[in-house]
Amino acid sequence: MILGTGIDLIEVARIASSFEKFGERFVNRILLPDEIAYCLQHRKPAPFLAARFAAKEAISKAFGTGIGAALSWQDMEIRRKESGEPFVILHGKGLELFAARGAQSLHVSLTHTENYAAATAILES
């Protein structure tokens, strides 16, 4: 049974601007070390940063909380399988919410172009 769904769309230029202005401080706020390493290995990291930003927003919407006191940027991590398929690792309050909602799985899908990044998330029991 689906417990929640979330979707997010963001302009890559918005993330690129924040990255240019705040640098490490910005990426350390929204991403975990492995996510940062993955994104920054690309010649143009902004679309990859934006996709992860969108994924975390979509996940927070699937939980029904948004990003804030109940679920922070650092409570969610977007990783990739060898096949390239993204998956979510929850930490801290993310794990607590997952258990409290009686969830069994959390699916995420990402996409990006030069100008936009989007993500969807589905929380299932």
Please list the active-site residues.
61, 112
Cβ neighbours for 20, distance < 8 A, ≥ 6 positions apart: none
Q: In which element (H, E) is residue 24 found?
A: helix 24-30
**Max CA-CA distance within the chain?**
42
